[in-house]
A and B are shown apart, each in its own frame.
Chain A
Amino acid sequence: GQNIDQPTEMTATEGAIVQINCTYQTSGFNGLFWYQQHAGEAPTFLSYNVLDGLEEKGRFSSFLSRSKGYSYLLLKELQMKDSASYLCAVRSGGYNKLIFGAGTRLAVHP
């Protein structure tokens, strides 16, 4: 079966750091993506991990542990515009097929 779990909602303060966790159990694994989606808009790519470890990209970092089926997205120096849903997606099987988690709605407040 395919199962990707993320917290439903999180809140954080502007300027702070927040970590969004994702655990997965999938029949295949060929990489994990994080996407950001503002309400009513398209998902936009944030990060990609296929090997264990940390990938850093400006204010955003993503970590992967394949043995634990676990990833997290770390957002630093939070800004109000970071209020959005964050989707964890596992590439499983051929043809670049992505399976999305339900998403984590992050609310950043002053």
Chain B
Amino acid sequence: DTEVTQTPKHLVMGMTNKKSLKCEQHMGHRAMYWYKQKAKKPPELMFVYSYEKLSINESVPSRFSPECPNSSLLNLHLHALQPEDSALYLCASSPMGNNEQFFGPGTRLTVL
């Protein structure tokens, strides 16, 4: 298995909802990442997990809560989001060290 999967593909939620995005990889990668990408903009790093521990939080608002329950799974819990949080949320993984990141197809999130 050489891919990163993300569910759901699309998500529409209200500002009072709680939802979660899921990312999974079975390549044995021990580093996993969440990115946010707005239309016609580059991906912006949100979080990095290394060996299931949070290594980088790029000053992301607390309404985004990451979780890494095991080495294959990465979740992003969403609560009380704003319309400006609507974006494509990309998950990526890589082997530890300086290696290329493999991206999942993303979840397109719309906040009403």
Contact = CB atoms under 8 A, between A and B. Distances in A.
Contacts of A35: 103
Contact of A96 (B44, B94, B104): B94
A84 to B, nearest CB: 13
Task: Give the interface size bracket for B toward A.
Answer: 20 to 34
Contacts of A94: 55
Contacts of A108: none
A31 B101 CA distance: 13
A102 B41 contact: yes
Given A48-B100, A96-B97, A42 B106 contact: yes
A90 B44 CA distance: 12
A45 B42 contact: no
A4 B9 CA distance: 30
Contacts, number: 55
Contact of B45 (A30, A42, A98): A98
Nearest to B58: A97
Interface in B54-72: 55-56
Nearest to B41: A102
Interface in A82-99: 87, 89, 91, 94-99
Interface string A19-62: 00000000000110101000011111100101000000000000
Interface of B: 4, 31, 40-45, 48, 50, 55-56, 88, 90, 94, 97-106, 108
